[in-house]
């Protein structure tokens, strides 16, 4: 258990370290994470790319993995009211944490801490850390395959977590006081903490949410040429690559961005991207990387080619599967083709987006995030035509007569995704690409999106089709809204559209849908505004079905006409934060 701090003077976090959680495999009993002689493997962490002193980017925050990890010195602090020196401005605090219980896996630990600002004011925050052995895979920052014990190594999952809490972004932070020992028998370990800086001067123009981790190829010394469609435009750009759900780092040899001419052909010579001044980068397991800003004019409502050279071999990738967009892949062993304007090298096609999760543009008023399932993802809309309802909404926002800022619109829809159930568990190579739940991915796919101002939450039909109670879906929606509000976002709720005629859309599922929709329409302030998508697409003569003119043919997904009707029905001022 933690000892009471000997000083209240704020100190750098590493000066407060009092526990050694990481041990070498050759001496597994020398570290003691949990008071029972168990520890993390230094070798496993290095294999994941989490090397001592390395900066790990997680959910738009930059955290430094302790330089002492794997050495004979402490590498984390057991929270018990210590005062951490941390200065600067940010919209949130991100902690790299896990909890431990001496008797074995536990339920986690948490407590209330305090932030002191330079003007003398203070604020509180609540920090909860899942157990390092029993916590969920869906929200982990990194997962490791072993636990070291005094008797040797055991094949058991170990996990660390990045937990983000809101700050007053208009004030300068002076110090952060960690929560007190909860006295529950569990310890809350803090490995790193940082101020998450808001992405001032940037607008999210395109995004895709990682839906799973799937086998490929293996791809060896090949180049991906990924086609994405912008919403907002701007005079400069940066891209975001993520190694979500991975167990090992991935090497990026080179990357470029260009306007698409036709197919895999670029309009002009592709512009090289760099990463902290270098042509390539390595992304640790679970982490992300932003490219350096590049002076590349990005038109609104245009197709870009983002080309990524993978020196390889790459046997599995984090992926968004339902792209509804053809992208391209060069032949095995064809090398770095990122700089080529021509299409000849790109002999293969993809209908997924591996690694690439965002394109941001300079300037602009910020972004609207569409959080949803396959209807938001654009399933059953026309391939390569960009007719998803968020695409149509983006065009409306850019119209001179819109009367509202020309927000970027980023699509955080995942086909078959649910509000409260992790269909993909969040760990391991799998053919399941339905993603972790909206509750589990909210930080990554909404709260950490570049300059997010408003989130449209339009989800729940898959929970209902698979038997989840209306009460559970409502509780899940309330939780999403509360978390987004705590971070200053406007939250707009969308009613769930009908689907009678689809195999899982039973009369019982429709009855539960009606209960959820009644809550959304009269939500008691849970949402700042409501979009009645149900009323837009239903057949007035048969309200449990989609209007035939809007039905894609499977009775679940609206087609192009239905998606346009949904976007056209959105009062644009409802999106204003």
170-180 pLDDT tens trace: 899 999 999 99
Taking residues 408-421, report their average pLDDT.
Answer: 98
Share of the chain above pLDDT 70, in %: 99
What's the confidence (pLDDT) of residue 84?
A: 98
Query: Which residue is associated with the tokens 């809309």?
Result: 381
What's the confidence (pLDDT) of residue 2?
A: 44
Q: Is the pLDDT of residue 67 over 60?
A: yes
Q: Is the pLDDT of residue 271 over 70?
A: yes
**Residue 512's closest CA among 574, 449, 567, 463?**
463
Question: How far, in Å, CA of 126 to CA of 165, rounded?
Answer: 7
> Quick one: pLDDT band at residue 104, thresholds 50, 70, 90?
confident
Name the strands in the sheet holding 202-207, side by side, starting at the edge strand that comes first in the sequence. 202-207, 356-362, 237-242, 288-290
**Residue 266's closest CA among 325, 235, 238, 226?**
226
What's the confidence (pLDDT) of residue 114?
A: 97
Taking residues 274-297, report their average pLDDT.
Answer: 98
From-to residues of CATH 2.60.120 in the chain: 200-362
CA 347 to chain centroid, in Å, comes to 31
Give the helix ranges, DSSP H, for 322-423: 374-377, 389-398
What's the confidence (pLDDT) of residue 231?
A: 98
Return the number of other C-beta atoms located less than 10 Å from residue 417's C-beta: 30
**Residue 58's closest CA among 67, 47, 49?**
49
Return the number of other C-beta atoms located less than 10 Å from residue 549's C-beta: 12
> Quick one: pLDDT band at residue 8, thresholds 50, 70, 90?
confident
Return the number of other C-beta atoms located less than 10 Å from residue 4's C-beta: 9
CATH code of 200-362, in short, is: 2.60.120
Assigned architecture for domain 365-577: 3-Layer(aba) Sandwich (3.40)
Residue 119: both structure tokens together: 């003007």
Burial (CB < 10 A; 0-12, 13-18, 19+), residue 376, is buried
Name the strands in the sheet holding 122-129, side by side, starting at the edge strand that comes first in the sequence. 83-88, 173-177, 109-117, 122-129
pTM over 0.85: yes
What's the confidence (pLDDT) of residue 390?
A: 98
**Residue 28's closest CA among 169, 160, 156?**
156
Strand partners, 163: 95
Burial (CB < 10 A; 0-12, 13-18, 19+), residue 296, is buried
Coil, strand, or helix at residue 403? coil
Taking residues 498-518, report their average pLDDT.
Answer: 98
Question: What are the backbone angles phi and psi of residue 264, rounded to the nearest 5°?
Answer: -90, 5
Q: Can you spell out the DSSP letters for 409-451? A: EEEEE-TT--SS--SS-SSS--S--S-S-HHHHHIIIIITSTT
What's the confidence (pLDDT) of residue 29?
A: 84
In degrees, to the nearest 5, what angle opens at C-alpha 440 toward C-alphas 63 and 160? 40
CA neighbours closer than 13 Å in the CB half-sphere of residue 353? 29
What's the confidence (pLDDT) of residue 181?
A: 83
Question: How far, in Å, CA of 337 to CA of 326, rounded?
Answer: 18
Taking residues 123-137, report their average pLDDT.
Answer: 97
From-to residues of CATH 3.40.50.1110 in the chain: 365-577
Question: How far, in Å, CA of 342 to CA of 415, rounded?
Answer: 33
Burial (CB < 10 A; 0-12, 13-18, 19+), residue 121, is exposed
**Residue 144's closest CA among 49, 33, 61?**
49
125 sits in which H/E element: strand 122-129
Coil, strand, or helix at residue 233? coil
Question: How far, in Å, CA of 569 to CA of 577, rounded?
Answer: 19
């Amino acid at each position: 258990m933690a000892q009471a701090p000997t000083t209240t003077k704020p100190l750098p976090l590493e000066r407060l370290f009092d526990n050694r959680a990481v041990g070498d495999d050759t001496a597994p009993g020398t570290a003691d994470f949990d008071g029972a002689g168990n520890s993390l493997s230094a070798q496993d962490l290095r294999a994941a790319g989490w090397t001592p002193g390395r900066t790990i980017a997680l959910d738009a925050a930059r955290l430094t993995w302790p330089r002492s990890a794997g050495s004979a010195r402490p590498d984390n602090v057991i929270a018990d009211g210590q005062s951490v020196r941390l200065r600067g401005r940010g919209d949130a605090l991100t902690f790299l944490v896990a909890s431990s219980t001496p008797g074995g896996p536990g339920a986690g630990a948490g407590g209330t801490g305090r932030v002191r600002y330079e003007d003398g004011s203070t604020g509180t925050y609540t920090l909860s850390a899942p157990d390092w052995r029993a916590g969920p895979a869906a929200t982990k920052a990194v997962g490791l395959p072993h636990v070291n014990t005094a008797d040797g190594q055991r094949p058991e999952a170990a996990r660390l977590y990045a937990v983000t809490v809101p700050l007053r972004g208009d004030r300068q932070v002076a110090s952060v006081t960690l929560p007190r020992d909860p006295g529950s028998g569990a310890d809350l370990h803090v490995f790193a903490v940082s101020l998450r800086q808001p992405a001032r001067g940037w607008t999210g123009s395109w995004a895709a949410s990682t839906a799973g981790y799937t086998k490929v190829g293996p791809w060896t010394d090949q180049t991906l040429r990924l086609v994405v469609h912008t919403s907002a435009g701007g005079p400069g750009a940066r891209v975001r690559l993520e190694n979500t759900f991975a167990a090992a780092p991935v090497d990026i040899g080179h990357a470029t961005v260009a306007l698409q001419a036709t197919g895999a052909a670029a309009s002009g010579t592709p512009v090289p991207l760099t990463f902290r001044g270098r042509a390539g980068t390595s992304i640790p397991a679970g982490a992300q990387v932003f490219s350096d800003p590049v002076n590349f004019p990005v038109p609104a409502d245009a197709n870009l080619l983002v080309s990524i050279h993978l020196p390889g071999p790459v046997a599995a990738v984090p992926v968004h599967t339902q792209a509804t967009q053809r992208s391209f892949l060069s032949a095995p062993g064809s090398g770095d083709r990122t700089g080529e304007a021509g299409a000849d090298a790109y002999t293969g096609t993809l209908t997924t987006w591996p690694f690439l999760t965002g394109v941001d543009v300079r300037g602009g008023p910020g972004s609207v995030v569409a959080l949803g399932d396959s209807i938001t993802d654009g399933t059953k809309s026309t391939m390569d035509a960009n007719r998803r309802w968020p695409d149509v909404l983006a065009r409306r926002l850019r119209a001179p007569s819109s009367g509202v800022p020309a927000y970027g619109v980023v699509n955080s829809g995942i086909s078959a995704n649910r509000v409260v159930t992790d269909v993909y568990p969040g760990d391991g190579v799998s053919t399941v690409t339905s993603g972790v739940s909206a509750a589990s991915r909210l930080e990554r796919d909404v709260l950490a999106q570049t300059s997010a101002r408003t989130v449209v939450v339009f989800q729940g039909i898959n929970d209902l089709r698979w038997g989840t109670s209306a009460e559970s879906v409502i509780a899940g929606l309330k939780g999403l809204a509360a978390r987004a509000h705590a971070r200053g976002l406007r939250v707009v709720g969308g009613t769930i559209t009908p689907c009678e005629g689809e195999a899982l859309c039973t009369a019982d599922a429709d009855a539960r849908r009606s209960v959820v929709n009644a809550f959304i329409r009269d939500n008691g302030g849970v949402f700042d505004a409501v979009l009645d998508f149900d009323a837009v697409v239903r057949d007035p003569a048969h309200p449990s079905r989609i209007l035939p003119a809007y039905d894609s043919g499977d009775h679940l997904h609206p087609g192009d006409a239905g998606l346009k009707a949904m976007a056209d029905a959105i009062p644009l001022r409802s999106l204003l934060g």
